[in-house]
Amino acid sequence: MTTVCSVRFKEVGKAYYFDPGEFTLAVGDHVVVETSRGLEFGEVVAGNTEVDDTELVAPLKKVVRYADSKDEQTVLENREREQAAFQVCLQKIAAHKLDMKLVDVEYTFDRSKILFYFTADGRVDFRDLVKDLASYFHTRIELRQIGVRDEAKMLGGLGVCGRLFCCSSYMDEFRPVSIKMAKEQGLSLNPTKISGTCGRLMCCLKYEQDAYEALLSSTPHQGALVQTDQGRGYVTAVNLLRGILTVHLIDEDTTVDLHKSEVSLLRDGTKKGTPVMLDDDLIAD
């Protein structure tokens, strides 16, 4: 076991483990830590805790010191510099006639580097732009092309639900989502219905997926052959959340709605709803 603390550098960003060393840190403390790109200012989101060594990527970077008022002032000045750098970069992009959209600018804490984040439909040759920016700011320049999901996280906004984007309000990192999740949750596969403002599948498809997978594992699928008090039949529709099955009775040639607890599964169907082939021995009296 190793004693670590968790530090976050952005309000809604991923938290990273650091070696607290001689410091006893608490949630909300501001610290200066050593990172791969130099000293950085961050906020403690989890104080000194012990973590299994298998969860760590060695070697751990150290907490250098508690942040003081001077460090706080440096952060505020960096935010002002970022706004000015954003406007300068926009002018440079226009001058070089580059097909790219500037999204955000970030100064490192020690101002040894400026990072410019942008989106573009394809590859962009920005070598001349980097040289131009470096000659203007007299520091190291890095341009990073990001995806539309990262752009939405940085800029923020309102989703179709009327709330702030999940990615920009509390999600520290993106979880993988797939069209399979929409299918299993019985949602319309119309892209406009299941896509977020960024144009990608909505992150909230992931939230209830575990519950749907549990229900799918305990509920006969569409096309399943089942035994009921009224005889055998096959499932023609499933209300997964309510646990209600629409069953077509073979002998009576009628359809009834039953709770899944009222039927016994003889042969399961498929998640795609393909009816099973009924064997003679299964439908025989």
| The predicted structure's pLDDT at residue 90 | 96
Q: Give residue 55's pLDDT.
A: 78
Query: CATH code at 100?
Result: 3.30.300
* 273 confidence band (pLDDT: 50, 70, 90): very low
Is the residue at 160 inside a domain?
yes
Whether 124 maps to a domain, the answer reads: yes
**Taking residues 244-260, what's their average pLDDT?**
91
- Confidence at residue 15, expressed as pLDDT on a 0 to 100 scale: 87
Domain ends where: 45, 67, 89?
Answer: 67
- 271 — pLDDT class (breaks 50, 70, 90): low
pLDDT band of 276, cuts 50, 70, 90: very low
Domain membership of residue 214 (yes or no) is: no
- Mark which of 96, 128, 146 sits at the end of a domain: 146
Say if residue 92 is in the same domain as residue 137.
yes
Give the mean model confidence (pLDDT) for residues 128-151. 93
Q: Are residues 9 and 62 in the same domain?
A: yes
Residues 111 and 172 in one domain: no
Residues 39 and 77 in one domain: no
Q: Which pLDDT belongs to residue 107?
A: 94
Instruction: Say if residue 182's pLDDT is above 60.
Output: yes
Asked whether residue 211 is assigned to any structural domain, the reply reads: no
Q: What is the CATH number of the domain that holds 230?
A: 2.30.30.30
Verify that 85 and 128 share a domain, yes or no: yes
Residue 70 is predicted with a pLDDT of 94
Residue 100 lies in a domain: yes
* Position 212 in a domain: no
| Residue 226 sits in the same domain as residue 250 | yes
Q: Write down the pLDDT at residue 104.
A: 94
Number of domains comprising the chain: 4
Band of pLDDT at residue 281, cut at 50, 70 and 90: very low
Strand order in the sheet with 264-267: 254-259, 244-249, 231-239, 225-228, 264-267
Both 230 and 254 in a single domain?
Answer: yes
Which residues constitute the domain of residue 158?
154-206
83 within a domain of the structure (yes/no) = yes
- Residue 195 falls within a domain, yes or no? yes
Choose one of 33, 67, 101: the last residue of a domain: 67
Q: Assign 96 a pLDDT band (cuts: 50, 70, 90).
A: very high
Residues 32 and 56 in one domain: yes
